[in-house]
């Protein structure tokens, strides 16, 4: 039998600039916020349009420089650790701020001169009026004194360097703020990706475990059934052997068509056990009686396929095969409360008597019940349990407690 391989979706491949839509939105968002502050400031003055026109140049340069920082991070640190991305972002922000400061000093003389006036009263009693690159000092009974501030190009190189450096420090914080925001998003995306991959790995491991546990049932059951079939043939009971073969083919046709990791309803699971018990009743027609009690309101409760198989096998092996007396195999389902149910599988002497069954009845708690416990744990964790032990009136009982889950 070929075991189907567990298929998992291929992980999404991240390209070097795959997050460019987020980068563009964040860059535009930061600079639009800055532009709003500029607009508010401009319309508080008397010449807003000149101010806005000059600031548009700065905003355009800033958008380009911020985009280059993104390209540096994505180009030189994509797939690297956050630490390396942070280093690239810090270097890029520093270079961008220096370029911005230099550009502001270089373009200062090319900016349109604002007509807005700033007027204030000096302590000496003079009125100082500042407009563009001119400062006018109005004095009582005297002609105004007009001073012209030198343009940036007229300053000595050291002073221009200091002005550029001061401007660069101011813009450095802006570029660092955007870089921090972008890297925080990157860290979150990576953390969510790692969490998702871990969840996928855990889910795949659990599915693989369930499949492995499920496939333990078939070889174990087939071995026991073939032994029973061999015994019937060797003792000349060919009619019973024929009935067993028919029941066996039906059982395997049904059970092997199931997805090993899928659930079945309680009704379907009990129908599968009926097929198996038909096989054993063909072998022990006079010594095996089967009782099944499952209320209608639990028939659609979901459970792992063939979960009861090892338990029923043990009940037959240690209750019927090793006893000369008639034995009753009982499968009973009961609702404990609105969220839980119990399944009990037991073997007991048909005509009573504590000592009717051999001592070996209580030895069947090895591989079969380990399998059942592992499958319950893989499916429901601590919400399900498996208990077993001898009954006071004779025989052995296994009790499974599990949540009631339905397709509805």
pLDDT of 359 over the 60 cut: no
Pair 244, 191 in one domain: no
Domain boundary among 140, 174, 198: 198
Pair 162, 287 in one domain: no
Q: Is residue 218 part of a domain?
A: no
Pair 44, 181 in one domain: yes
pLDDT of 300 over the 60 cut: yes
8 Å CB contact between 207 and 6 = yes
Pair 301, 187 in one domain: no
pLDDT of 134 over the 90 cut: no
Pair 179, 257 in one domain: no
Q: Is residue 178 part of a domain?
A: yes
pLDDT of res. 132: 67
pLDDT, tens digit, 9 for 90 and up, residues 19-38 = 888 999 999 999 999 889 88
Pair 91, 170 in one domain: yes
pLDDT of 251 over the 80 cut: no
Kindly indicate the confidence band of residue 287, based on its pLDDT and cuts at 50, 70 and 90. Answer: confident
Pair 245, 363 in one domain: yes
Q: Is residue 287 part of a domain?
A: yes
Looking at the structure of the chain, the number of domains it has is 2
Pair 266, 167 in one domain: no
Q: Is residue 330 part of a domain?
A: yes
Q: Is residue 1 part of a domain?
A: no
pLDDT, tens digit, 9 for 90 and up, residues 143-181 = 788 777 767 666 777 887 888 888 899 899 999 999 999
DSSP at 132: T
C-alpha distances in angstroms, 404 versus 135, 213, 246, 306?
A: 86, 22, 34, 17
Give the residue, 388 or 11, on which the prediction is more confident: 388
Strands (E), 195-276: 263-265
Q: What CATH number does the domain containing 289 carry?
A: 3.30.565.10
DSSP at 7: P
Environment class of 45 (CB within 10 Å of its CB; exposed 0-12, middle 13-18, buried 19+): middle
- Mean pLDDT rounded to a whole number for the chain: 80
Q: Is residue 167 part of a domain?
A: yes
Domain boundary among 147, 182, 198: 198
pLDDT of 305 over the 50 cut: yes
Rounded CA-CA distance 121/108 in Å is 27
Q: Is residue 138 part of a domain?
A: no
pLDDT of 209 over the 70 cut: no
Q: Is the pTM of this model over 0.85?
A: no
Q: Which domain does 250 fall in, by range? A: 237-403
pLDDT of res. 365: 46
pLDDT, tens digit, 9 for 90 and up, residues 93-125 = 999 999 998 888 887 767 777 677 777 787 777
Rounded CA-CA distance 273/278 in Å is 8
Domain boundary among 198, 224, 253: 198
Give me the mean pLDDT over the 221-250 stretch.
77
pLDDT of res. 4: 39
8 Å CB contact between 262 and 211 = no
Pair 244, 161 in one domain: no
| pLDDT above 70: percentage of residues in the chain | 82
Q: Is residue 349 part of a domain?
A: yes
- Quick one: residue 390, left, alpha or beta (phi over 0 = left, psi -120 to 50 = alpha)? beta
Pair 173, 247 in one domain: no
Pair 189, 268 in one domain: no
pLDDT of res. 397: 93
pLDDT of 388 over the 80 cut: yes
pLDDT of 57 over the 60 cut: yes
pLDDT of 296 over the 80 cut: yes
DSSP at 116: -
Rounded CA-CA distance 327/350 in Å is 5
Q: Which of 319, 313, 308 is nearest to 386 (CA)?
A: 308
Give me the mean pLDDT over the 223-252 stretch.
78
Pair 162, 273 in one domain: no
């Amino acid at each position: 039998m070929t075991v189907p391989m567990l298929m998992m979706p291929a992980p999404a491949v991240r390209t070097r600039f795959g997050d460019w839509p987020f980068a563009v939105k964040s860059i535009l968002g930061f600079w639009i916020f800055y532009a709003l502050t500029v607009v508010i400031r401009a319309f508080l003055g008397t010449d807003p349009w000149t101010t806005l026109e000059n600031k548009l140049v700065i905003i355009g340069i800033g958008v380009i420089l911020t985009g280059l920082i993104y390209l540096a991070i994505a180009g030189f640190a994509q797939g690297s650790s956050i630490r390396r991305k942070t280093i690239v972002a810090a270097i890029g922000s520093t270079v961008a701020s220096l370029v911005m400061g230099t550009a502001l000093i270089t373009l200062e003389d090319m900016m349109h001169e604002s007509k807005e006036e700033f007027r204030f009263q000096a302590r000496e009693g003079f009125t100082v009026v500042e407009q563009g690159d001119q400062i006018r000092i109005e004095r009582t009974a005297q002609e105004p004194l007009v001073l012209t501030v030198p343009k940036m190009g007229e300053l000595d190189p050291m002073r221009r360097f200091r002005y550029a450096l001061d401007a660069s420090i101011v813009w450095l914080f802006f570029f660092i703020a955007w870089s921090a925001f972008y890297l925080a998003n990157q860290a979150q995306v990576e953390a969510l990706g790692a969490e998702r991959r871990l969840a996928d790995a855990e889910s795949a491991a659990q599915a693989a475990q369930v499949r492995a546990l499920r496939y333990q049932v078939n070889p174990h059951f087939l071995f026991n059934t073939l032994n029973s079939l061999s015994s019937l043939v060797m003792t000349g009971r060919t009619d019973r052997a024929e009935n067993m073969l028919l029941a066996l083919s039906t059982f395997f046709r049904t059970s092997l068509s199931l997805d090993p990791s899928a659930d079945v309803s309680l009704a379907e699971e009990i129908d599968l056990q009926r097929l198996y018990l038909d096989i054993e009743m063909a072998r022990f027609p006079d010594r095996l009686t089967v009782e099944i009690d499952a209320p209608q309101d639990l028939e659609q409760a979901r459970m792992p396929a063939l979960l009861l198989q090892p338990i029923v096998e043990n009940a037959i092996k240690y209750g019927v095969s090793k006893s000369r007396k008639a034995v009753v195999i009982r499968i009973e389902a009961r609702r404990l409360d609105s969220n839980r149910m119990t399944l009990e599988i037991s073997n007991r002497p048909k005509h009573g008597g504590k000592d009717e069954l051999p001592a070996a009845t209580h030895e069947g708690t090895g591989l079969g019940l380990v399998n059942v416990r592992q499958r319950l744990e893989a499916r429901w964790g601590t919400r399900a349990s498996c208990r077993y032990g001898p009954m006071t009136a004779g025989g052995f009982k296994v009790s499974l407690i599990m949540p009631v889950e339905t397709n509805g």
